[in-house]
Structure 1
Amino acid sequence: MSSGTDSTRTESVVAALFDTAIGLCAIAWHGDTVVRFQLPEASEEQTLARITRPFGGAPVDESEPGPAIVAAIAGIRAHLDGSLDALRWIELDLRGVPEFHRAVYAVTREIDPGRTLGYGDIATRLGAPGSAQAVGQALGRNPIPIVIPCHRVLAADHALHGFSAPGGIGTKARLLEIERAPGFGEPMLF
């Protein structure tokens, strides 16, 4: 994962839509690194508009993805089909992302599928106890959900409060259910 803070990007960014178990997602990349991922919006046009917005709404390049991006798409599809993979092997480019956000994303990527942490837990792991709100703000700006699994981070009461992705907390609950996280998608005994 690139950790540089240089926000200039000389490589052209390419985006593509692809079908998954939760709907039509989008991925943007340059070379062999993923720069954005988009969960399904209400329409194909909206999904495409959302993923290209940070690049000035540029039209989608029709270039075929290389082997690394084909593998990333296949890995994301398989994960969303229930073949759980932490997806840590996918190379990300986070140039231009603030340092604190990158640190939050690094800790978040270490949460295994089916597990969760609280915002405060992440803050503590960063050596910044008391910064749970800042952690939440960083995760709310996550450019690469699923691969940076912000859905695995819960409030202190383990409830689902707010989720900035399309579908809100319903999407978050669905992702946790796919990952068989305890308490999500299981019948309750009481």
Structure 2
Amino acid sequence: MPVRSLTFATALGRLRLAWTAEGICLVRFTDALDREEAREAPAWVLEAMRRLMVHLAGSPQDLPNIHLDLSGLTPFQRRVAEVLRATAPGQTLTYGEVALLAGRPGAARAVGQAVKANPVLILVPCHRVVAADGPGGWSAFGSPEVKARLLALERPPGQ
């Protein structure tokens, strides 16, 4: 299946977004421009891009209904993605809680690996996973500071 991509600026940094006919398959922070960038994108991709830009500018959007192509993930990684997409904005879960909800109690380390392999940042909100003893790190571009900002975007005012 051909993959097309584009890069665009957001309030939190530049994102690369890639898609197939099945859905969005990649959202990553990047410093580089994509040399193979698509000149035109379907309306549904442009709408996803617009919603990400608005969301990251501070106006939370309904992102779970954006269609994804997660065919490159293992069944367990897809289950972790489903758990994370079902998690309410502003809510956090520990790695152990995600493992339990994904049907693999005690598999917190496997959840950590699944989160690390997440190809669609923000749309599969891996920033909502925290260590049992605190926020923990984040392997995405910008690391803990960007994670904290993403979580802050999702919290209702006054929390």
The normalised TM-score by structure 1 is 0.77
SS in 2 for 1:44: coil
Q: Is the 8 A contact 1:116 1:181 kept in 2?
A: no
Which segments of 5 or more consecutive residues in structure 2 lack a partner in the other structure?
Answer: none
C-alpha separation in 1, matches of 2:20 and 2:153: 29
**Cα RMSD over matched residues?**
1.9
C-alpha separation in 2, matches of 1:171 and 1:110: 21
Kindly provide the amino acid, as one letter, of the partner of residue 135 in structure 2.
L
Q: 4+ residue runs of structure 1 moved beyond 2 angstroms?
A: none
C-alpha separation in 2, matches of 1:86 and 1:131: 29
Matched with 1:30 is 20
Offset of residue 126 of structure 1: 1.8
After superposition, the Cα gap between the structure-2 partners of 1:71 and 1:20, relative to the gap in structure 1 and judged at 3 Å, is same
Q: Is the 8 A contact 1:86 1:113 kept in 2?
A: no
SS in 2 for 1:176: helix
Q: Is the 8 A contact 2:18 2:27 kept in 1?
A: yes
Kindly provide the amino acid, as one letter, of the partner of residue 155 in structure 2.
R
Counterpart pick for 1:101 among 77, 98, 121: 77
Which has more radius of gyration?
A: 1
Matched with 1:7 is none
The normalised TM-score by structure 2 is 0.91
Offset of residue 32 of structure 1: 5.7
Aligned sequence identity (%): 40
1:156 aligns with 2:128: no
Q: Is the 8 A contact 1:118 1:156 kept in 2?
A: yes
Matched with 1:44 is 32
Matched with 1:133 is 109
Q: Once the two structures are superposed, what CA deviation does each residue of 1:59-107 show, in whole Å capped at 9, x if it has no partner?
A: 4143311111011001111111222124111111111211100000000
